[in-house]
Amino acid sequence: MQHPRTPDGRYFVVRGRLWRCTNPHLSEVERQLFVDELMAARREVKRAREAADDVALKSARQSVDKAKRALGERGPTWWDDDTDFNRCMIRNTPYANWWLERSNELC
């Protein structure tokens, strides 16, 4: 299922919350490399949780963060201004009217 994206392509929306999209300026090769790293790090998080290994869990979470930053989903924005509404409820952002209009169109 494809989640709706904001008109500027910066975010996708899940249950009324904005989540930052992957940097579209990455090459497909770069993007896939970072996605592979992210998935491997998430598997490590799962293993560390199952083993109740706090040290491994901390390291795995750092690897997840590193991959998400490389993808542009965290850290400095990949767009020109530094305004970031990542994880904000859409109703509390400048995208609120767009979301409301979009929702009305779907009715």
- Taking the whole predicted model, whether its pTM rises above 0.75 is answered as yes
Number of Cβ atoms within 10 Å of the Cβ of 100: 12
Q: Is 89 strand, coil or helix?
A: strand
Residues 6+ apart with CB under 8 A from 42: 60, 64
Q: Per residue of the chain (107 residues), what is the pLDDT tens digit?
A: 689 999 999 999 999 999 999 999 999 999 999 999 999 999 999 999 999 999 999 999 999 999 999 999 999 999 998 899 999 999 999 999 999 998 777 65
Number of Cβ atoms within 10 Å of the Cβ of 87: 11
Closest CA to 45 of 68, 24, 22, 29: 68
Residue with tokens 């109703």: 91
